[in-house]
């Protein structure tokens, strides 16, 4: 994988978030299930940046369900903590694999990391594609094989 250039859309982005009170568990730390939503915030920002967010996916005739999710919790998130959530596309040929990191926005300390894997499903036939469709490669600015 090469670094993004001026002619190719970036393959990563980040969003900032402040952990709200309603995301806390009884121990007053962020409940582990909310991390998936935080990943989704960054993934959506990344897909919007590529002009291939969920509405554009649907229009192209493909759905992209998440088929795998992995999260490694290193440090808990706390109420009112400012965090930066990054999402980076690391695979795109046969599946869409996005790597995530959650860091403390002030110190830069890594708090959580993980990834999701999505696959293209042809909406007309409801069948999984074993190779990423050309529209994804076009949106990524990647030459077709």
| Residue 18 is assigned to a structural domain of this protein | yes
| Residue 145 is assigned to a structural domain of this protein | no
Q: What is the mean pLDDT of residues 90-107?
A: 96
pLDDT in tens, 8-63: 445 999 999 999 999 999 999 999 999 999 999 999 999 999 999 999 999 999 99
Instruction: Give residue 143's pLDDT.
Output: 79
Q: Name 70's Cβ contacts closer than 8 Å, sequence gap at least 6.
A: 114, 115, 116
| Residue 83 is assigned to a structural domain of this protein | yes
Instruction: Give residue 134's pLDDT.
Output: 94
Quick check: helix, strand or coil at residue 12?
Answer: strand
What range defines the domain where residue 35 resides?
12-140
pTM, two decimal places? 0.90
Give dist(CA 140, CA 95) in Å, integer: 13
Instruction: Give residue 25's pLDDT.
Output: 95
Mean pLDDT of the chain: 92
How many domains is the chain built from? 1
Give dist(CA 81, CA 72) in Å, integer: 19
Question: What is the CB neighbour count within 10 angstroms for residue 49?
Answer: 16
Q: What is the mean pLDDT of residues 125-132?
A: 95
- For residue 125, pLDDT beyond 90: yes
- For residue 6, pLDDT beyond 90: no
Residue 99 sits in a domain whose CATH number is: 3.10.129.10
Q: Are 97 and 116 in contact (CB under 8 A)?
A: yes
């Amino acid at each position: 994988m090469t670094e993004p250039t001026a002619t190719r859309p970036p393959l990563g982005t980040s969003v900032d978030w402040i952990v709200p009170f309603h995301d806390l568990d009884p121990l007053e730390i962020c409940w582990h299930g909310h991390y998936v939503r935080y990943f989704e915030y960054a993934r959506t920002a990344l897909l919007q940046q590529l002009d291939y967010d969920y509405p554009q996916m649907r229009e192209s005739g493909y759905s992209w369900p998440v088929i795998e999710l992995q999260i490694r919790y290193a440090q808990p998130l706390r109420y009112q903590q400012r965090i930066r959530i990054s999402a980076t596309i690391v695979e795109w040929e046969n599946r869409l694999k996005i790597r995530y990191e959650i860091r403390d926005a002030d110190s830069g300390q890594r708090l959580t990391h993980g990834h999701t894997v999505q696959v293209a499903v042809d909406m007309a036939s409801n069948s999984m594609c074993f190779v990423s469709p050309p529209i994804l490669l076009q949106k990524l600015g990647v030459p077709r094989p």
